[in-house]
Structure 1
Amino acid sequence: MVPINRQNARPLSAQIADDLRRRVATEQLVVGEKIPSLRALAEEYSVAELTVHAAVKELQHEGVLASTSGRGTFVKALPSAGSEEPVDSDAVLTELRELRQEVEALRTRVEAVEQSQRGD
C-alpha cells in the first residue's frame, strides 16, 4: 500500500483511487477478484468509509471496478493507460475564465475590507 499523504493537495479519495488503480494494474488485485470491504479499506488507509466509497465510485465510473448488490465489489478490468476522461478544452477555458473573474472579485472585496480597517 502506498501511504496516503494528508498534506498533499490531492483529495484523499483520489490518492486512494490511484493506489487501488495501481494495485489492479500490478495484479495485486486480479480481474474477477473481490476487493476488500469499504470498512477494511477504510481501516487500511486510516480514513472514513465515505472517503473510500468516493474512490471506489471513481473506479466504477472508469470501468475498473463493478459492484454487485449483496455480493461486494469486484475488479472488472485493468485500468487503461489514460484512465481519465478526455478533457473538453473549451469547457476548461470557460471555467478558468470564470475562476479568474471570481478571484478578481474576491481581490476587490479584500482590498475594500483592508482599506476600511485602515480607515482610508
Structure 2
Amino acid sequence: MSTIDREGPVPPYRQIADILRQRIADGSIPVGRAIPSLVEQEREFGVARDTLRKAAKVLRDEGLVETVSGMGVYVTRVPEPTRSDS
C-alpha cells in the first residue's frame, strides 16, 4: 500500500498522480495498458474516488492517459524525462 501524506503541502490527488506518472515512466504501467481501476486504487491509496478521478485528470491533462468509455483509463505515452543541468 502506498502512503499518502494527508497533512503535507501536496494535495493527495497530486501525490497519486505523481506515483502513477512514475509507474508509467519506469514501465510498470506500459503504454497501451490501463492504470489500476478505481477499486484497486481505493484499496491501495485509501482515498475517495473523487480524489482518484482528480489524479487521473492531471495525467489526462498532461496527455499521458486517455479514458476509454466503459473500459478504463489507458496509458497513451510516457512522460518526457526531466533533465538536470549537471
Q: If the length of structure 1 is used for normalisation, what is the TM-score?
A: 0.64
1:79-90 matches, within 5 Å, as 79-81=79-81
Alpha-carbon distance between aligned partners in 2 of 1:17 and 1:47, rounded to the nearest angstrom: 13
CA-based RMSD of the aligned residues comes to: 1.4
What are the superposed Cα offsets for residues 6-64 of structure 1, whole Å, 9 maximum, x if unpaired? 22111000000000000101111111011111121122100001101000011001011
Greater than 6 Å deviation, 4+ residue runs: none
2:12–2:51 contact (8 Å) kept in structure 1: yes
Matching of residue 77 in structure 1 with residue 70 in structure 2: no
- How many residues align? The count is 82
- For structure 1, which runs of at least 5 residues remain unmatched after alignment? 83-120
Q: Which has the higher contact order (CA 8 A, sep 6+)?
A: 2
Q: If the length of structure 2 is used for normalisation, what is the TM-score?
A: 0.87
For the pair shown, the structure with the greater C-alpha radius of gyration is 1
Alpha-carbon distance between aligned partners in 2 of 1:36 and 1:29, rounded to the nearest angstrom: 9
- For structure 2, which runs of at least 5 residues remain unmatched after alignment? none
Alpha-carbon distance between aligned partners in 1 of 2:72 and 2:26, rounded to the nearest angstrom: 21
